[in-house]
Chain A
Amino acid sequence: MNSVKKGTIGFNRRVVSKGKRSTLSAKQQNISESTHSLITNAVAKRVARLNSSEWIQVVPRNKSWVVRKNGAQRAIGIFPDKSTALSTAKRLKSKSALARIIIYDVNGQVSQILS
């Protein structure tokens, strides 16, 4: 009754719902704990140390599309539409050692990564 199933990630978790204890299925528990898994300092440091200088960004800004190298002060170019900006980024990528194109949405979040 109050038992808790053991999840695949190796620990138990209880939840309380509608006044009584209920049990998370192993799958739910796995998803939930995965979502809330701790980012360790080691992970944060590894992410921080990534060399991002070979990435190229395509970012919508002020009704235009900006192509810019990661970390650069200035934009490579500002274009009226996404397709022109993207084809410029692809051309740059093919000509140089740029490893990835990161396309952003209007909220500044990543919408697509082209390797």
Chain B
Amino acid sequence: MPFETNIFINCPFDDDYKPIQKALIFTVMYLGFEPLLSTTISSGHIRIQQIIKHIKASKFSIHDISRCAAKKKGELGRFNMPYELGIDIGCMQFGTRLQKMKLCLVLEEKEHRYDQFISDISGQDIKTHQNNPEKAIERVLEWLDAATDDNIPSLGNVWNAYIDFIGKLEIGLKAEDYSDGEIKNLQHPKFIKLAKAHLATI
């Protein structure tokens, strides 16, 4: 996995975030990048070590800090995503010459909401997706268009390709006796495997 084509995706794994997660993963794969996300291999596995490994190995990173707020009154906020963003920025600052070339996209749900909980991030280029997978795809395309010399396709092209894949996944997995729940809650390693096989056919 070459440094130049790896994209570390730092995002929530909640079920209600899944549509955005899938859209981000598919988009970077459609553009020829390799998505790297943390996985829990076993209970003894130290997750942060894997995240650090992914951060070191990726020229590009997408950090979605839209799910940091507590969901209910009395709940605490969730800081894994800003924590991992901090490690990535640290890697850019203190890493090797290659790592100093790293580029990151920070996604949020609404403009300037982050000022309330992570104000030191102000000044970074933070883009909003309004909890909409198509907007999230658009933000990634804009970012990669500016950050690379690649010929980035239009939003309509990527969105249609994504919709085609999601439809094929639903019908294909049902034919393989997967339940609605299993398809809806498909974990990202499986989603990546299916997307890779699909993209090899188009």
CB-based contact B166/A47 at 8 Å? no
CB-based contact A47/B169 at 8 Å? yes
CB-CB under 8 A from A104, the residues of chain B are 163, 166-167
Q: List 21 A-B contacts (CB under 8 A).
A: A34-B182, A35-B182, A35-B185, A38-B190, A44-B193, A45-B197, A47-B168, A47-B169, A47-B175, A47-B198, A50-B172, A52-B168, A55-B171, A57-B164, A61-B159, A102-B170, A104-B163, A106-B132, A108-B159, A108-B166, A113-B174
> Is A107 interfacial (CB-CB < 8 Å)?
yes
CB-based contact A44/B170 at 8 Å? no
Given known contacts A61-B134, A108-B163, A52 and B171 CB-to-CB distance under 8 angstroms: yes
Write the chain B residue with the least CB distance to A104: B163
> Is A91 interfacial (CB-CB < 8 Å)?
no
A46–B193 CA distance with the chains assembled, in angstroms: 12
| CB of A113, distance to nearest CB on chain B (Å) | 7
| Chain B contact patch, size range | 35 or more
Given known contacts A35-B181, A47-B194, A50-B171, A71 and B134 CB-to-CB distance under 8 angstroms: no
CB-CB under 8 A from A61, the residues of chain B are 134, 159
| CB under 8 Å from chain A, chain B span 147-202 | 159-160, 162-164, 166-176, 179, 181-182, 184-185, 187, 190, 193-194, 196-198, 200-201
> Is A1 interfacial (CB-CB < 8 Å)?
no
CB-based contact A108/B182 at 8 Å? no
Of listed A55, A71, A72, A108, residue having the most chain B CB within 10 A: A108
CB-CB under 8 A from B134, the residues of chain A are 61, 108
> Is B43 interfacial (CB-CB < 8 Å)?
yes
| CB of A50, distance to nearest CB on chain B (Å) | 5
Given known contacts A35-B185, A52-B171, A107-B19, A44 and B166 CB-to-CB distance under 8 angstroms: no
